[in-house]
């Protein structure tokens, strides 16, 4: 499955990661206008070390939202609109990622996502609440908000995952609209790709990857959501880590939550988000747990040409992250303050 990844030139990856770093550096102390929601968020690019930051007070001060990549800034703001009013984390995470699913400029999530090799946009998503409930959809086409379908699977069926045509039928039966998710821009990119049809997924660059969002509400309850269009130009039918509880996302309200971004196959083979939560249960900080989950990939898999990043929060409201290669960042919003971007710590060999 990963044979094509081995052909990614390291140099190309480094150049592209360097572009991302340049973007982050350019953003220091700048203001990024985020058209969605009309939000203006000051983006402070700061580096993270393995030392986990620990908020000290409870209630509102402890509440936080954390999510992958720059598109997490607007998602966090939308999530905070729920949490700031005393709402539940599960509602916050759904509202947060929906904003990114609807944004045609984000080409790795929802509407506007890059299609598979057959030109079909196929979506994966999952959601987990504070009670240990979970719902997911995978290989879902034509529905702009797979996260809301996943929520309905969780809330209104005895099942956890619905796939493909069954997931679509379920969505239509529950009032979701059938839409064409292939935007003109994504179609043009696919047609250009088809000329060579070479499989060279570039995880840090496909206009970012999965959005995974974790939130702790004012009641101290934790929930998470994860949604993606998956690898651009993947094989038709491919499902990644994002809709799999324990892989792309895991929440245990006694301990914390974790979510993944990057090459789903590597996350699936290590059940990474479950691993992060279990490591936190054993006493690791979120950053330490994320680092160990990345190290499991590094020890056993061909990691040089793939990116995987984890973010995690624990019950104390501490947070952390780790990734394989530089270039992964996450958005953090605490106490209703302005959102910031944080560069994840990464493996240095």
Residues that bind ligand GLY in the complex, under the rule CB under 6 A: 209-210, 228, 230-231, 240-242, 261-264
Measured between alpha carbons, how far is 82 from 128 in angstroms, rounded to an integer?
17
* 240-279: b (≥16 Cβ within 10 Å) or e: bbbbbbbbbbbbbbebbbbbbbbbbbbbbbbbbbbbbbbb
Counting every residue, how long is the chain?
Answer: 349
User: In this complex, which beta carbon is closest to ligand GLY, that of residue 122 or of residue 334?
Assistant: 122
DSSP string, 152-217: HHHHHSS-SEEEHHHHHHHHHHTTPPP-----HHHHHHHHHHHTT------TTTSS---EEEEEE-
42 flagged as catalytic? no
User: In this complex, which beta carbon is closest to ligand GLY, that of residue 281 or of residue 296?
Assistant: 296
Of 68, 210, 227, 270, the catalytic one is 210
Rounded least distance, CB 227 to ligand GLY, Å? 10
Rounded least distance, CB 262 to ligand GLY, Å? 6
Rounded least distance, CB 132 to ligand GLY, Å? 23
User: In this complex, which beta carbon is closest to ligand GLY, that of residue 213 or of residue 318?
Assistant: 213
The answer to whether 224 touches 211, Cβ cutoff 8 Å, is: no
User: In this complex, which beta carbon is closest to ligand GLY, that of residue 209 or of residue 221?
Assistant: 209
- DSSP state, 42? E
User: In this complex, which beta carbon is closest to ligand GLY, that of residue 129 or of residue 241?
Assistant: 241
Rounded least distance, CB 328 to ligand GLY, Å? 12
User: In this complex, which beta carbon is closest to ligand GLY, that of residue 43 or of residue 308?
Assistant: 308
- 3-state SS class at 54: coil
Of 123, 117, 124, 96, the C-alpha closest to 36 is: 96
- Contact partners, residue 18, CB within 8 Å, separation at least 6: none
Rounded least distance, CB 243 to ligand GLY, Å? 9
**Percentage helix, strand, coil for the chain under 3-state DSSP, each rounded to 5:** 35, 25, 45
Angle between helices 146-156 and 89-101 (to 10 degrees): 150
Rounded least distance, CB 338 to ligand GLY, Å? 28
Measured between alpha carbons, how far is 275 from 237 in angstroms, rounded to an integer?
26
Q: Which residues are catalytic?
A: 210
């Amino acid at each position: 499955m990963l044979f094509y990844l081995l052909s990614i030139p390291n140099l190309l990856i480094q150049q592209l990661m360097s572009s991302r770093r340049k973007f982050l550096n350019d953003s220091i102390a700048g203001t990024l206008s985020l058209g969605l929601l009309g939000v203006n968020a000051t983006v402070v690019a700061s580096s993270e070390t393995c030392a986990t930051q620990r908020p000290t007070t409870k209630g509102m001060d402890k509440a936080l939202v954390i999510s992958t990549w720059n598109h997490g800034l607007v998602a966090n703001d939308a999530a905070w609109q729920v949490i700031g009013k005393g709402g539940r984390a599960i509602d916050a995470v759904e509202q947060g990622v929906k904003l990114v699913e609807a944004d045609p400029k984000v080409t790795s999530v929802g509407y506007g996502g890059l299609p598979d090799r057959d030109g079909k946009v196929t979506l994966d998503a999952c959601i987990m609440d504070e009670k240990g409930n979970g719902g997911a959809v995978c290989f879902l086409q034509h529905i702009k908000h797979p996260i809301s379908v996943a929520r309905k699977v969780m809330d209104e069926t005895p099942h956890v995952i619905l796939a493909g045509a069954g997931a679509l039928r379920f969505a239509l039966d529950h009032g979701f609209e059938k839409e064409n998710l292939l935007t003109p821009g994504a179609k043009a990119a696919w047609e250009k790709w088809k000329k060579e049809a070479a499989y060279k997924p570039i995880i840090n660059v496909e206009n970012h990857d999965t959005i995974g969002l974790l939130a702790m509400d004012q009641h101290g309850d934790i929930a998470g959501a994860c949604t993606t269009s998956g690898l651009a130009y993947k094989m038709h039918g491919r499902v990644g880590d994002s809709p799999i509880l324990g892989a792309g996302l895991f929440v245990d309200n006694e301990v914390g939550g974790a979510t993944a971004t990057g090459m789903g196959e590597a996350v699936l083979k290590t059940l990474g988000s479950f691993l992060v939560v279990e490591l936190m249960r054993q006493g690791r900080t979120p950053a330490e747990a994320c680092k160990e989950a990345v190290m499991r990939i590094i020890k056993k898999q061909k990691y040089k040409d793939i990116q995987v990043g984890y973010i995690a929060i624990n019950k104390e409201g501490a947070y952390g992250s780790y990734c394989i290669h530089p270039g992964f960042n996450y958005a953090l919003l605490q106490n209703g303050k302005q959102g910031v971007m944080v560069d994840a710590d990464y493996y240095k060999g």
